[in-house]
Structures are given as structure tokens and as C-alpha cells.
Amino acid sequence: MMGPAHSLSGAMAWLAAGLGTAAAGHPMPWPVLVAGTLICAGAALAPDLDQKSATISRAFGPPSRWLAGLIDLLSVTVYNISRGRGDRKRTGGHRTLTHTWVWAVAIGAGFSAAAVYWGRWAVLVILFVHMVLAVEGLLWRAARVSSDVLVWLLGATAAWIMAGVLDRPGNGSDWLFAGEPYLWIGVPIVLGAIVHTIGDSLTVSGCPMFWPLPIAGRRWYPVGTPKFMRFNAGAWVENTVLMPAFMVVGAGCAVGAVMLAA
């Protein structure tokens, strides 16, 4: 899928999680619901950091393009070292390592650990990165016609405000893990990455989300829906069916989460 659809699916996923936790008797404070939705929307772009032309690879100028090159090299190296007998050798790493659930969990755990260990400044950096990505994904057309500096300023402002709100007593800095502020911040990051892989599994190429589990003699088996149900990234079904569905379901989950938490 393309960036806007990935971001919308990430936002929908966190709002659905908010509804689920509220129904289970552990509702998210509204700042966690809002912040988590934007973090998850941004994180849903992150697996494409293995491709230099992706939205995330362009989002932070030269540093993110350099990082994309390194991630691509790491991904193709891991792929070729760990490939099964049915996997062909590759020269590019797109849709390999960063499109697995192992990567999703590792990245989420890393961000949570950083937030707990380094405190407020790490939280601000994490929020800033994901706010910028959320703007790039959810407001794709507007972000494309504006300058990168304006998007970065918007992301920095949103990160500062959200951190200030979350830090207030009862607003959710220690939601989910009592006494451990911001340990939860990796959860929407994991969820966003997983939703990204599920979205890519709907497309023609599929997605090797279950690596390193061997499937049909391959460790990088491209899991997906039946081939007759798949579509090309950016196809009409994505823009006219899936994206409106993500918005409607997300809005319904948001209303439900807020009403159950009231």
C-alpha cells in the first residue's frame, strides 16, 4: 500500500485498540488515545525505511535518506544470509527485514527502553519523529506542497504539547504499566509496523511478515491473501474502498472508546 493508506490503517488500529481496552475495563486516558493514534499512524510508515524513495526516507532530508541506505544494506544482508533453499538471492532489501514482526517487536521494545532510560528528552524525540511521519502520511497532499521545515515545526510543536499534556497527573504517562512512565510508548510503534505488513500482504507482492519461520521451503515467504484478491499498491481499491473504510471504522472506534471511558 501507499503511505496515506498505511498511516490511516495505523490510526484506525490504535483507535480500535482504544475501544478494546475500554471494553476490557482499562480505558486509555484521552491524551494516550490521541498521542497513540498519531504515533501509530507515523509508525505505520516506518517499515518502508528500506526504500530510499519512500515517504519516511524523504521525511527528514539527507539524514533519513542516508539511514534508508543503511537499512537497505542491512536488510539485504540479513536476507541473503538467512534465506531458505526456495528464496532467490537479492540485491535490494525492500520488503524484507523491516517488514517482519520480529523487526516490529524489536523496534517497539527499543523505543520503550529509550523512553524509560533517557526520560523526557527521549520521549520528545520519539514523539517528534512520529508526529512528522503522521503529518507526512495523514496530510500527504498538504505536506507535499509545503516545505520540510514547516512539517518539522508542526511535528516539534505537537510533540512538545503532547509531552506536556501526558506528563500531567492522570493523563496517562504511566498508562498500562503503573509506575513506569512511557513504557507503553513502544506499543503503538509495534502495532503500526504490524499493520503495515498486513497492508502489504494485500498487495501483489505479499509480505514476509513471519520470518524466520520456514514456509514451503522458504524463510522469506511472501504471505498474502489469495492471489485473485490482491491488488497493486495505489490501485483504485486502496483509494476508493480501503481508505474510506479505515476512516469510518477509526471514527466509530474513537467514539466508542470515548463513550466507554466516560
Residue in the block written with cell 505479499: 206
- 59: exposed, middle or buried (C-beta count within 10 Å: 0-12, 13-18, 19+)? buried
176-195 confidence digits (pLDDT tens): 898 899 999 999 999 999 99
Residues 6+ apart with CB under 8 A from 155: 128, 129, 131, 132, 134, 135
Task: State percent of the chain over pLDDT 70.
Answer: 97
64-114 confidence digits (pLDDT tens): 999 999 999 999 999 999 999 999 999 999 999 999 999 999 999 999 999
Does the pLDDT value for residue 172 go beyond 80? yes
19-75 confidence digits (pLDDT tens): 999 999 999 999 999 999 999 999 999 999 998 888 888 889 899 999 999 999 999
pTM given for the model: 0.94
Instruction: Confirm if 189 and 56 have CB atoms less than 8 A apart.
Output: no
Does the pLDDT value for residue 140 go beyond 80? no
The domain ranges of the chain are 2-261
DSSP characters over 64-92: HHHHHHHHHHHHHHHHHHH--TTSPP-S-
C-alpha span between 251 and 6 (Å, rounded): 16
Residue in the block written with cell 504471505: 223
